[in-house]
Amino acid sequence: MSRAWLFIFFMGLVSLFGDITYEGARSIIGPFMASLGASAAIVGFFAGLGELGGYALRLIGGYLADRTERYWLLTGLGYLVNLLAVPSLALAGRWETAAALMVIERAGKGLRTPPRDAMLSYATSQVGRGWGFGFHEAMDQIGAITGPLLAAGVLSLGWTFRQSFALYAVPAFLALIILAWARISFPVPKELEISPRSSPETDSPRFPQAYWYYLAFSAVAVAGFLHFQILAYHFKVKEVLSDAAIPFLYAGAMATDAVAALLAGRLYDRIGLRSLIIVPFLTVLLTFLVLATHPLQVVAGTLIWGVVMGLHESTLRAAIADLTPIARRGLGYGIFNTAYGTAAFLSGALLGMLYDRSPHQVIILVVILEAIAFLLFLQMVKHWRAFEQERDGKC
């Protein structure tokens, strides 16, 4: 195994055990807070606050990573906060404490994501941006599937919420041990970068226009992408699926996410940003299906939802590395993640309010947003081609 693949594998294992920890906790934090006396509005508010704060911190994390080049320090600190907040929930005696830990967990993830992705981008320059990020996303999703299933399993055996949170100390500890091992084995990940587009002669300190069009396309595309919480709410209130079937369907979506991430990554390495043309169309299609009331339609729509999620988590991350200079890659990831997360947060609130009025209004807004995303895609590809021609001419 090459050193680049070994680094990606190490970081994939960190993400796998990390996702077991916090995705498992996120699957039961709602009912746990309810047992402590929190209302649905309180749970929703702090969940949204945590997501928004976490994405805002990605801008800070990216800036600090580039300014200090302390990628490992920021990544390690973020993972430490991110992962240790979960087993700490076992000690929470009030919903206020649980809410604070929920926000702290998201903050840790926000801080460590840009420097981690920047380090991954150096290794993926050797194996293919899309393939490398797709492989990492696939390992990540194995954890995202395992975590909630582990919670369902131990709760079915009679464990309490507190005991379940305490159990997640095990994968959290494993993730931190592997992260420390990766730090020792790869003290300077930037040395893995071999792409000629990041050589001193071609590494402009400015972001190209293609980057900003890409940022706009990604933000609008994710704005029309329904959160699973809204999907699950629809399945429940319309009695489309049983309570037990919903988490299993979510696990199935995570499985399609993992497979789609690998395939999308390969496709990106072959044809570049043009591979994203299917995102707006699939997003519209899945919206029609998941807001239906027939079980087969919502199952099909949710699996397509997983495919689109795989495209978002692999190709969107891979392209940032190709569109940003190496000296500002952490900031590039920070800006992207902040814009992406803010769009997802605001649209999630809006789509939720529209659903309360009429699911048809949700469909109309999604169609409008994805039509705008398609127009931005056309401009993005135009500027991407110009960027490639200018870059190749300098290499």
Residue 197: predicted pLDDT? 47
Residue 350: predicted pLDDT? 85
Tokens of 254: 């995570």
Residue 364: predicted pLDDT? 96
CATH number for the region 1-186 comes to 1.20.1250.20
Residue 201: predicted pLDDT? 37
Three-state DSSP state, 292: coil
Residue 203: predicted pLDDT? 52
Domain boundaries, the chain: 1-186, 205-394
Residue 249: predicted pLDDT? 83
The CATH class for the domain spanning 205-394 reads mainly alpha
Residue 204: predicted pLDDT? 58
Measured over all CA atoms, what is the biggest interatomic distance in the chain, rounded to whole angstroms?
Answer: 65
pTM: 0.80
Residue 291: predicted pLDDT? 93
Q: Compute the distance between CA of residue 292 and CA of residue 362 in angstroms, rounded to an integer.
A: 12
Decide if 1-186 and 205-394 have a common fold: yes
Q: How far is CA 233 from CA 120, 239, 343, in A?
A: 35, 10, 21
From 352, 350, 372, 345, select the one nearest 220 (Cα to Cα). 372
Residue 195: predicted pLDDT? 55
Q: Compute the distance between CA of residue 136 and CA of residue 359 in angstroms, rounded to an integer.
A: 35
Q: Compute the distance between CA of residue 59 and CA of residue 343 in angstroms, rounded to an integer.
A: 14
Residue 376: predicted pLDDT? 96
Q: Tens of pLDDT along the chain (395 residues)?
A: 589 999 999 999 999 999 999 988 887 887 888 888 887 667 767 877 887 888 889 889 999 998 998 999 999 999 999 999 999 999 999 999 999 999 999 999 999 999 999 999 999 989 988 899 989 988 998 998 899 888 888 888 889 989 999 999 999 999 999 999 999 999 999 888 875 444 433 455 678 899 999 999 999 999 999 888 788 778 878 888 877 677 678 888 888 998 999 999 999 999 988 999 999 999 999 999 999 999 999 999 999 999 999 898 888 888 898 888 888 888 999 899 889 888 888 887 788 888 888 899 999 999 999 999 999 999 999 998 888 777 666 55
Chain position carrying tokens 């495209």:
311
